[in-house]
């Protein structure tokens, strides 16, 4: 199993450009998440999905959109990139073990917006 994969690994955008980050998981997990990690801050949840065709806002959703058309894929879109969106983006997926949701993270995408 590849687990959780993310493409691309690195990207540089100019302000105003758009892009889509792809997350894929082969563990048949229902839940998927997008986080951003910035220096000196803990990971923050952008959007999440509890199943195919459903999405919900997290802690910092502004400037991002997501789609979950297939169970194994979760896309994160930036319609008009801003320098404040320079960050490392992590995708995660989870399943329920007892009363706990075990989250598995992808390797990350480092995005720079100039």
Partner 1 sequence: KNQVEQSPQSLIILEGKNCTLQCNYTVSPFSNLRWYKQDTGRGPVSLTIMTFSENTKSNGRYTATLDADTKQSSLHITASQLSDSASYICVVSAAHNTDKLIFGTGTRLQVFP
Residues near partner 1, by CB under 8 A: 4, 31, 40-45, 48, 90, 92, 94, 99-108
Pick the closer one to partner 1 by CB: 14 or 99.
99
Pick the closer one to partner 1 by CB: 14 or 100.
100
**Minimum gap (Å) between residue 85 Cβ and partner 1:** 19
Pick the closer one to partner 1 by CB: 77 or 101.
101
State the Cα torsion 9-1-56-10 to the nearest 10°.
0
């Amino acid at each position: 199993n590849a687990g959780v994969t993310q493409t691309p690994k690195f990207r540089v955008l100019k302000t105003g450009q758009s892009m889509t980050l792809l997350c894929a998981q082969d563990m048949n997990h229902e839940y998927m998440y997008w986080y951003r990690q910035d220096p000196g801050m803990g990971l923050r949840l952008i959007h999440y999905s509890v199943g195919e065709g459903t999405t919900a806002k997290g802690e910092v959703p502004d400037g991002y959109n997501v789609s979950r058309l297939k169970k194994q894929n979760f896309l994160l879109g930036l319609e008009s990139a801003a320098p404040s969106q320079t960050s490392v983006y992590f995708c995660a997926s989870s399943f329920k073990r007892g009363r706990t949701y075990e989250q598995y993270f992808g390797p990350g995408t480092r995005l720079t917006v100039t």
